[in-house]
Amino acid sequence: MHNIVWFRSDLRVYDNPALSAALQNGSVVAIYLLSQKQWDQHSVAPAKRSLIVGQLLSLAEQLSLLNVPLKVIACSDFSQYADVITEQACLLGSGRVYYNAEYELNEKHCAEAVKEKLESVNVMTQEFHDSCMIMPGQIRTKQGECYKVFSAFKRAFIEQYALYSRPILYKPKAQALIDVEMDLTALNEVVTESKWSSLWPAGEDEAHDRLNRFVEGHIKEYDIKRDIPSVDGTSQLSPYLAVGALSTTQCMQAALSLTEGRFDSGRNGVLVWINELIWREFYRHLMDEYPRLSKHKPFKIDTDRLPWKHDQALFNSWVEGRTGFPIVDAAMRQLAETGWMHNRLRMITAMFLTKHLFIDWRWGEQYFMENLVDGDLASNNGGWQWSASTGVDAVPYFRIFNPTRQSERFDPNGDFIRRYVPELAGLDSKSIHQPSLQQARSAGYAVPIVDHATAVAQTKLWFKQLSEPT
Ligand code: FAD
């Protein structure tokens, strides 16, 4: 008889609550259900698929050191998961299935169906909270509501951290050898490109090395460098968090080790990085609380009355990095080439799509998911709704980034633009942010597809009309 630990977006052996609990309660077989159709439905990017496959191979090795065989089983989609796990539980004679919670609506429904089906054959389930530092639903206002303003959420999070954050877990002890074979053949069905695995190498060791290097180095200047896309000022840990090669709890512990466990003193770089980890947490708690965020709905429901455009040609110019706004185009090309985009640029490009082109934020959200190695529904939706002013604690609709001013401020010498828009490499550091028509034409570069001032005025008008009584 072997119990099951069902791996999901938590592909690691260190600090994994479900795995640790399972190994303390008898012998264990690890299962991962792989559905490419489900990945298609959730717009999982090729770069992220490649990272998941690499991470599963690495996880299998790590688990084998614990004598836990990993079986990867191909499924059509979520609707098959309950049957497949139940079949495995019956085959293995499992008394219990352990797994970590996920907070997106489809994932929640999937886990509920798994639980129900297993219970119908008398197999118990045990769910753990892993991807949040504090369990969603725990941090409430005095009125018992979910916080909708980040600064208030952050205050409450910090106050409750010592009491309610889950403890960090170390690598569990190996179990005795069991007579079940590891089976990874289903991974052969996934076509991956080596480009992605060399850009984003998989493995828990890789994730830890990156975290350690960041904590020993760049974190100290994070507050100063995090907005400059031409330098490696951020951790680039998001892909590893997205597949669960690393937990936010591990990141927070690493940061707090530099502040003697304090949130209110220590180097500014560390405190600002901690702030970003709390943003991640905030969006996950919101996703758990508001199912509509998983259903392509805006948080501010009335913003669905805005006349969002669905103009494929305009959208394609943005996707292909041909808007005639160099910083926007450089950012979009960075995403296409590397599967990742700097946070400052995510804000600039998202705001450009929604506030200059007035294209439906859901188009941008989906395109990001289809291309980001760190695609994560809660953070991506949060970031898009923040930028489009449709979300909780979003940027006020009238505060619209001027892409040229952003470029001058955060890429002053044009280094980042030169890297991704080589046709402009010969321009001086003043004109590179906004080439003249003549400069653009002779460089073979796009002329601006929209006039900043006109577009911004129109957008403000639409938002203003929305807030006026009808
Ligand atoms: P660091 O600056 O080193 O920050 C450390 C970690 O904190 C990140 O890895 C991430 O987990 C978290 N974090 C940082 N900033 C944010 C933020 N604004 N919101 C939530 N969490 C944050 N992040 C994703 O992980 N997946 C996404 O799909 C995603 N889509 C986004 C879309 C838009 C339009 C915007 C504006 C932001 C999006 N973000 C997303 C948030 C942020 O841009 C990335 O987390 C960050 O750029 C990742 O780089 P890093 O690991 O170097 O971050």
The predicted-structure confidence for 286-296, as pLDDT tens digits, reads as follows 999 999 999 99
* Count: domains in the chain: 3
Among 379, 390, 393, residue to substitute to test ligand 1 (most atoms within 8 Å of Cβ): 379
Is 4 within 8 Å of 29 (Cβ atoms)? yes
Q: Clarify whether 340 is annotated catalytic.
A: no
Query: At residue 399, what is the residue type?
Result: R
Residue where one domain finishes, among candidates 70, 103, 130: 130
pLDDT at 102 over 70: yes
Q: Clarify whether 462 is annotated catalytic.
A: no
Q: What is the whole-number distance in angstroms between the Cα of residue 343 and the centre of ligand 1?
A: 6
For helices 361-371 and 312-319, the axis angle rounded to 10 degrees is: 40
Q: Clarify whether 200 is annotated catalytic.
A: no
pLDDT at 93 over 80: yes
Q: Is residue 186 part of a domain?
A: no
Is 213 within 8 Å of 105 (Cβ atoms)? no
362 lines ligand 1 (CB under 6 A): no
Q: Is residue 190 part of a domain?
A: no
Strand order in the sheet with 124-128: 70-74, 28-34, 3-7, 96-100, 124-128
Same domain, 286 and 145: yes
Could you tell me the CATH number of the domain that includes residue 457?
1.10.579.10
What number is the average pLDDT over the span 207-224? 97
Among 153, 276, 410, residue to substitute to test ligand 1 (most atoms within 8 Å of Cβ): 276
Same domain, 121 and 135: no
What number is the average pLDDT over the span 145-160? 97
Q: Clarify whether 361 is annotated catalytic.
A: yes
Measured distance CA(12)–CA(171) in Å, rounded: 9
Same domain, 321 and 392: yes
pLDDT at 110 over 70: yes
Instruction: Give the DSSP letter string of 391-413.
Output: STTPPPTT----HHHHHHHHSTT
pLDDT at 470 over 80: no
Residue where one domain finishes, among candidates 97, 130, 163: 130
pLDDT at 331 over 80: yes
Q: Which atom of ligand 1 is nearest to the CA of 377?
A: 28
pLDDT at 38 over 90: yes
Q: Is residue 283 part of a domain?
A: yes
Same domain, 388 and 286: no
Please state the pTM of the whole predicted model: 0.98
Q: Whose CA is nearest to atom 20 of ligand 1?
A: 280
User: pLDDT (tens digit, 9 = 90+) per residue, 367-385?
Assistant: 999 999 999 999 999 999 9
Same domain, 135 and 124: no
Give me Rg for the CA atoms of the chain.
23
- Which helix (H) or strand (E) covers residue 431, if one does? none
Q: What is the whole-number distance in angstroms between the Cα of residue 279 and the centre of ligand 1?
A: 8
Same domain, 350 and 409: yes
Q: Clarify whether 318 is annotated catalytic.
A: no
Q: Quick one: pLDDT at residue 466?
A: 93
Same domain, 136 and 277: yes
pLDDT at 364 over 70: yes
Residue where one domain finishes, among candidates 260, 290, 320: 290
339 lines ligand 1 (CB under 6 A): no
Same domain, 150 and 276: yes
Q: Quick one: pLDDT at residue 469?
A: 73
276 lines ligand 1 (CB under 6 A): yes
Same domain, 370 and 278: no
pLDDT at 42 over 80: yes
374 lines ligand 1 (CB under 6 A): yes
Q: Is residue 192 part of a domain?
A: no
For helices 377-388 and 343-351, the axis angle rounded to 10 degrees is: 50
343 lines ligand 1 (CB under 6 A): yes
Q: Is residue 183 part of a domain?
A: no
Q: Is residue 359 part of a domain?
A: yes
Q: Whose CA is nearest to atom 9 of ligand 1?
A: 238
Confidence class for position 161, pLDDT limits 50, 70, 90: very high
Could you tell me the CATH number of the domain that includes residue 89?
3.40.50.620
Q: Is residue 437 part of a domain?
A: yes
Burial grade of 399 (CB within 10 A; 0-12, 13-18, 19 or more): exposed
Confidence class for position 220, pLDDT limits 50, 70, 90: very high
247 lines ligand 1 (CB under 6 A): no
Q: Which atom of ligand 1 is nearest to the CA of 374?
A: 26
233 lines ligand 1 (CB under 6 A): no
What number is the average pLDDT over the span 69-73? 98
Strand, helix or coil at 190? Answer: coil
Measured distance CA(449)–CA(222) in Å, rounded: 34
Q: Quick one: pLDDT at residue 457?
A: 98
Same domain, 282 and 323: no
Q: Supply the range of the domain harboring residue 75.
A: 3-130
Same domain, 135 and 248: yes
Q: Is residue 198 part of a domain?
A: no
What number is the average pLDDT over the span 350-369? 98
The closest of 13, 17, 11, 14 to 100, measured between CA atoms, is 17
Structure tokens at 319: 């996707």
383 lines ligand 1 (CB under 6 A): yes
Among 280, 340, 347, 373, residue to substitute to test ligand 1 (most atoms within 8 Å of Cβ): 280
Instruction: Give the DSSP letter string of 60-89.
Output: HHHHHHTT--EEEEE-SSHHHHHHHHHHHH
Confidence class for position 468, pLDDT limits 50, 70, 90: confident
The closest of 138, 133, 135 to 263, measured between CA atoms, is 133
241 lines ligand 1 (CB under 6 A): yes
What are the C-alpha distances in Å from 443 to residues 130, 382, 404, 427?
50, 37, 18, 9
- pLDDT above 70: percentage of residues in the chain: 100
Average pLDDT over the chain, rounded to an integer: 97
pLDDT at 126 over 90: yes
What number is the average pLDDT over the span 418-436? 98
Measured distance CA(440)–CA(374) in Å, rounded: 33
Among 51, 238, 366, residue to substitute to test ligand 1 (most atoms within 8 Å of Cβ): 238
237 lines ligand 1 (CB under 6 A): yes
Measured distance CA(440)–CA(49) in Å, rounded: 37
Confidence class for position 467, pLDDT limits 50, 70, 90: confident
Measured distance CA(305)–CA(463) in Å, rounded: 10
43 lines ligand 1 (CB under 6 A): no
| Catalytic hit among 276, 289, 408, 423 | 276
What number is the average pLDDT over the span 112-126? 98
The closest of 291, 357, 259, 264 to 103, measured between CA atoms, is 291
Same domain, 339 and 427: yes
